[in-house]
Amino acid sequence: GAGVSQSPRYKVAKRGQDVALRCDPISGHVSLFWYQQALGQGPEFLTYFQNEAQLDKSGLPSDRFFAERPEGSVSTLKIQRTQQEDSAVYLCASSLAEYGIYGYTFGSGTRLTVV
Amino acid sequence: AQSVTQLGSHVSVSEGALVLLRCNYSSSVPPYLFWYVQYPNQGLQLLLKYTTGATLVKGINGFEAEFKKSETSFHLTKPSAHMSDAAEYFCAPVVQGAQKLVFGQGTRLTINP
């Protein structure tokens, strides 16, 4: 597609519920990133994929967070047993190359509210 | 470890005035440097980037930034502010050879009529 597509756009979850957030990157983009952006803050890195390989998951805040990209294209970020502190905008970005030289294209994000 | 500091969480200028948003990075190796803009309820849009070559970089919407290695800075400027420039701006370096962007806290730019 022309851009990075994320769905759903908005998600309200009850505390304790599991959620799945989808990212559809630009076709052919090798690298895919997930970021978490709390209200009034800059995005914080969560995890990085190069094709289907998850090369860096150092930013995942707990073992409740899990991400996958099984075929090297679409990625899913799953949050189990959601907590109020998980409320944030989750941004996905993709890049043509393995390294950042070409820049990164971001999706519009999924706003998760845990009530 | 790579880090970035954006001085001023909130900058307010008059329409037509100079815009200056400050960014300093800390890295032993000059990184790639990016400025992104975020409008309300939207994702991040790339304004400009520095990777190699000319240190003065021009971006979209009349913005430009100059990479100064000696000052470890990459400040964003625009000669004349427009109302449509009101948004959140993020500076983000990437260490060469690495992949992930490291974002600053952001600067909210307000334009006064």
Per-residue three-class SS string for B14-71: ECCCCEEECCEEECCCCCEEEEEEECCCCCEEEEEEECCCCCEEECHHHCEEEEEHHH
Which residues in chain B have their CB less than 8 angstroms from residue A55's CB?
A: 99
Residues of A in contact with B32 (CB under 8 A): 100-101
Q: What is the pLDDT of residue A44?
A: 94
A99 touches chain B (CB under 8 A): yes
DSSP element (H, E) containing A13: strand A10-13
For B25-63, how does the pLDDT look when each residue is reduced to its tens digit (9 = 90+)? Answer: 887 666 789 999 999 878 899 999 998 888 999 999 999
Work out the mean pLDDT of chain B and round it to a whole number.
Answer: 90
pLDDT average, residue stretch B68-74: 91
Residue with the bigger pLDDT between B42 and A37: it is: A37
Phi and psi of B59, rounded to 5°?
-125, -160
> Going by C-beta distance under 8 Å and a sequence separation of 6 or more, which residues neighbour residue B90?
A42, A43, B6, B35, B36, B37, B38, B44, B103, B104, B106, B107
Rounded Cα distance, A40 and A113, in Å: 15
* Predicted pLDDT at A64: 98
Residues in chain B closer than 8 A to A103 (CB atoms): 34, 46, 49
> What residue type is B23 in one-letter code?
C
Could you tell me the pLDDT band of residue A86, with boundaries at 50, 70 and 90?
Answer: very high
The tens digit of pLDDT for each residue in A87-97 reads 999 999 999 87
Q: Which of B32, B45, B105 sits opposite A100 (nearest CB)?
A: B32
Asked if the C-beta of A25 comes within 8 angstroms of chain B's C-beta atoms, the answer is: no
Calpha distance A26→A30 (Å, rounded): 9
Q: Is A83 helix (H, G, I), strand (E, B) or coil?
A: coil
The answer, for B91 touching chain A at a CB cutoff of 8 Å, is no
Give, in degrees to the nearest 5, the angle at Cα B63 between B60 and B111. 110
Tell me the nearest-neighbour CA distance from A38 into chain B, angstroms. 11
Q: Within an 8 Å CB–CB cutoff, is residue B60 touching chain A?
A: no
Q: What is the pLDDT of residue B54?
A: 87
Residue % of chain B over a pLDDT of 70: 92
- pLDDT reading at B17 higher than 90: yes
